[in-house]
Chain A
Amino acid sequence: MEGNGESIIPSLIETKTQPNRQESLVKQLTKLDQTRLDHQVFGNFLTELYESKNYSIFDQQLSENKNVRYQPKAALEGQITHGPLGDIFGIYEYKPIAEAVSNVKDYLGVFPKIKEVFDQSDGKDNSEIVKEVANTITKETNIPIIITPPKKEGDHEKKMDYVGRW
């Protein structure tokens, strides 16, 4: 993937830090409708994200996973950022998170059905809800969802055991 002596491999995409986290938080929170229960929960979540202890956790994880270097940087309101592969696929312009969540398109029409699952989730434990969400997605999209035990050390020593039917 190189041409003219200049690589377009994402590792060379320049990144710049966004120093003003608190400013970003304030801008995010002002976009929430605090009369809405879901936005109240969201606001609490965002506020915790911006706590310094989470920066530390994040930075440690980041240093171990270079892949995230190439994720798009979202932004303060109105900021233009690179996409995951530079501007090859166009430029992302990020809106505040609340708007982004609200506006993200339901391409496969699953969210109304998932809401129905949640509306009928009283008395059900988490695993039951997960299975119902999985079944709903499969029913609506024909995308199979396989719930399976994780692999462990030594799982790959045998051959026959690792092919099965679903």
Chain B
Amino acid sequence: MKKKWIMLEDGNVCSASISEKNFGLHTKVYKCTPEIYSELKESGFSSEMDFTPVGDAIVINEALIDQPQAIQTCVHELGHIVEDKFIMPQKEEQFKGTSILNTEVISSLYGLKTCLLMANKKPDLARKMMVAPTCIYNWALAGTVAP
């Protein structure tokens, strides 16, 4: 399945594909040459392409940005990047080439911290911001359930 690729202002590229139900996601930014960009346009992404990650990006679902949860989504996704960069930087290298699963812990804390900032200004809105990620908070933070 081809992804939707976006060229950023600095000439690098990232995938900007997001599903309809997903509020946001974080993704890698890759160094892009004119050749790679041309190939992307012609054929889409190929694992043969020489993609070098040079940074991170966040993708937000435009169709859901009027939802209260979306207000904390940017920060939630930033939490994933923070975890990768500052808290578990060895994860990516150690498990290179394997399917590594992101945790939701730091991202959930970042999202929740954002909700609490809003709570002092607009408590009703803050409460609604907290609603959607119930299952994540319930499991990852409250620690009450495990499969």
**Chain A interface (Cβ < 8 Å from any Cβ of B):** 1, 10, 15-18, 21, 24-25, 28, 37-42, 44-46, 48-50, 54-55, 57-59, 61-63, 67-76, 79, 81, 83-85, 88-89, 92, 94, 97, 100-101, 104-105, 107-108, 110-111, 114-115, 118-119, 121, 125-127, 129-131, 133-134, 137, 141-152, 155-156, 159-160, 162-166
Contact = CB atoms under 8 A, between A and B. Distances in A.
A148 B134 contact: no
Contact of A159 (B42, B55, B61): B42
Interface of B: 1-9, 14, 16-22, 29, 37, 40-44, 55-63, 65-68, 70-71, 73-75, 78, 81-82, 85-86, 88, 90-91, 94-95, 98, 101, 103-106, 109-110, 112-123, 125-127, 130, 134-147
Given A143-B58, A151-B4, A121 B18 contact: no
Contact of B65 (A119, A127, A160): A127
Contacts of B73: 130
Given A130-B65, A143-B57, A151 B18 contact: yes
Contacts of B91: 85, 89
Contact of B144 (A50, A111, A137): A50
